[in-house]
Amino acid sequence: MSPEESAAREGLVRWGRSMFERGLTPGSSGNLSVRLADGYLFTPTNSCLGFLDSERLSKLDGNGKHISGDPPTKELPLHFAFYETRPSARAVVHLHSTYATALSCLADVDPNDAIPPITPYVVMRVGKVPIVPYTRPGSADVAPLIRAKAGDHPAILLGNHGPVVAGTSLEAAVFATEELEETAKLVLLTRGMAIRHLAATEIADLEATFMLRG
Ligand SMILES: O=C(CO)COP(=O)(O)O
Ligand SMILES: [Zn+2]
């Protein structure tokens, strides 16, 4: 096995456990993937992110064919929609984290911009977050909805379901997902309060200084 693949397996187990233990996705919800030079690693369907076994992770070849390990997550169309539209994407994280999922259930949130720019890190790590309409978990119907947005947006909320975020590494995707979750929490905590949003000039300054998002 290549050093790249063993590091990716170890990263999936370590980050999966860390996120599960911090309550970022309950039960067997959520799924993770990493793009390798010769294919993809996915978390198996119905697996708990807290207890992944590196040898049982699902390996797919470059064409998306399952070649080893347990059967992959049913959200393959969701993950591949990101990989197909974002050549820079090396990992995708999908969780059912409480606050981002709560936002995805609200009827009065702007579907093109669900997370207001209230702190610098959400601008730097996440950017504008659209919401795509609800589709059944695992349905291929999500793919065109994601493909229409993912080229411009590494982070998307699935309506009535939860967040999905692509990154240039697994660590980057996890950090962006955590930032999205924390910002969703701040947004909900401050609902109804007078908020000072970052000004357009402040956002432009952050974007010019930290061209970080992938
Ligand atoms: O979050 C999930 C579906 O959206 C979990 O599905 P899997 O167990 O198939 O990965
Ligand atoms: Zn899900």
Asked, for residue 60, whether it belongs to a domain, the answer is: yes
Cβ of 101 less than 6 Å from ligand 1: no
39-92 pLDDT, tens digit each? 999 999 999 999 999 999 999 999 999 999 999 999 999 999 999 999 999 999
Q: Note the ligand closest to the C-alpha atom of 139.
A: 1
Atom in ligand 1 nearest the alpha carbon of residue 25? 1
Whole domain around residue 77: which residue ranges? Answer: 3-209
Instruction: Specify the residue with its C-alpha closest to ligand 1, atom 4.
Output: 137
**Percent of the chain with pLDDT strictly greater than 90:** 94
Overall domain count for the chain: 1
Question: Whose CA is closest to 210, among 125, 152, 153?
Answer: 125
Secondary structure of residue 148 in the 3-state scheme: helix
Asked, for residue 167, whether it belongs to a domain, the answer is: yes
Residue 23 pLDDT greater than 80, yes or no: yes
- Determine phi and psi for 188, rounding to 5 degrees: -75, -35
Average pLDDT over residues 15-33: 98
Asked, for residue 27, whether it belongs to a domain, the answer is: yes
Please give the positions annotated as active site. Answer: 75, 121
Question: Whose CA is closest to 119, among 194, 206, 193, 201?
Answer: 206
For the ranges 29-33, 75-79, 129-133, 207-211, the lowest mean pLDDT is seen at 207-211
CATH code where residue 70 lies = 3.40.225.10
Asked, for residue 214, whether it belongs to a domain, the answer is: no
Q: Given the structure tokens 């996440």, which residue do they identify?
A: 126
ipTM higher than 0.90? Answer: yes
Cβ of 48 less than 6 Å from ligand 1: no
Asked, for residue 173, whether it belongs to a domain, the answer is: yes
Helix ranges (H only) for the chain are 3-21, 76-85, 98-104, 120-125, 142-150, 170-189, 200-209
Asked, for residue 22, whether it belongs to a domain, the answer is: yes
Eight-class DSSP state of 50: G
Q: What DSSP string describes 56-102?
A: GSEEEETTS-EEESSPB-TTHHHHHHHHHH-TT--EEEE---HHHHH
Cα dist. 142→60, 104, 130, 134, 192 in Å? 20, 15, 14, 8, 32
Asked, for residue 28, whether it belongs to a domain, the answer is: yes
Neighbouring CB atoms inside 10 A of 31's CB total: 28
Cβ of 147 less than 6 Å from ligand 1: no
Average pLDDT over residues 95-105: 98
Asked, for residue 98, whether it belongs to a domain, the answer is: yes
If pLDDT is split at 50, 70 and 90, which confidence band does 205 have? very high
